[in-house]
Amino acid sequence: MSAAAPKKILLGVSGSIAAYKACEIVRALVKGGAEVRCMATPNGARFVSTLALATLSRSPVAVGMFVDPSLWDMAHISLAAWAQRIAVAPASASIISRLARGDASGVIESVVLAARCPVALAPAMDAEMWQHPATQANVEQLRKYGYEIWGPEHGELASGRVGLGRMMEPEEIARRLLA
């Protein structure tokens, strides 16, 4: 990637304990020369500080459509137009469901619906949630829309169990976004 033309990457953070890993993703993207902006669901912002995301990305974090007037430039349209890549990491079962339905109730959902760039989702949830037929149907619908689904991986989960549902490692997510 050329230093003269940094990649513009928009990272969405949804409500999952894996949200703390978003800071590692942002840090790796910035280190890799990308311009990074972040957005979070209200529950995502409960798991990871928007101050941490803003500090690491050097940009304000969009949490809602109408929360911060300094971000209001039709936030969902301007962020979608700005981004060259969008990733939602972690992507909870809830955000996956809303995106599959085309529900534009939050900033992440609205931005993704307005986006014309590649979108990737990195699922993170307990194995039973991942394996549920509704989640699998939603993921299949998102694939039909052209979204990339990165993971989940098998490993230790927040519940203390081991299974399929762990978010892909932050370094791998950043590597794919920078490629």
Residue 146 pLDDT exceeds 50: yes
Q: Is residue 25 domain-resident?
A: yes
Tell me the C-alpha distance between 176 and 56, whole Å: 19
Q: Is residue 2 domain-resident?
A: no
Q: Is residue 127 domain-resident?
A: yes
Own/partner contacts of 98-105, CB < 8 Å, gap of 24 or more, are 99/138, 99/142, 99/147, 100/137, 100/138, 100/139, 100/141, 100/142, 101/138, 104/76
Strands (E), the chain: 8-13, 35-40, 61-62, 85-91, 119-123, 148-149, 153-156, 162-166
What's the pLDDT band for 47 if we cut at 50, 70, 90?
very high
Q: Is residue 71 domain-resident?
A: yes
For the domain that residue 38 is a member of, what is the CATH number?
A: 3.40.50.1950
Percent of the chain with pLDDT over 70: 90
What's the pLDDT band for 68 if we cut at 50, 70, 90?
low
Contacts of 12 (CB under 8 A, 6+ apart): 38, 39, 40, 41, 44, 86, 87, 88, 89, 91, 95, 108, 111, 112
Q: Is residue 1 domain-resident?
A: no
Res 90: pLDDT: 98
Q: Which domain holds residue 27?
A: 8-178
Residue with tokens 């969009």: 62
Angle ∠(92,152,20) on CA atoms, nearest 5: 55
Residue 144 pLDDT exceeds 80: yes
Residue 71 pLDDT exceeds 70: no
Which residues pair with residue 8 across a beta bridge? 35
Q: Is residue 61 domain-resident?
A: yes
The count of structural domains within the chain is 1
Contact 16, 165 (CB under 8 A): no
Own/partner contacts of 129-132, CB < 8 Å, gap of 24 or more, are 129/93, 129/165, 130/93, 130/163, 130/164, 130/165, 131/164, 132/93
Note the pTM of the prediction, 2 decimals: 0.92
Q: For residue range 98-115, what is the model confidence (pLDDT) as tens digits?
A: 999 999 999 999 999 999
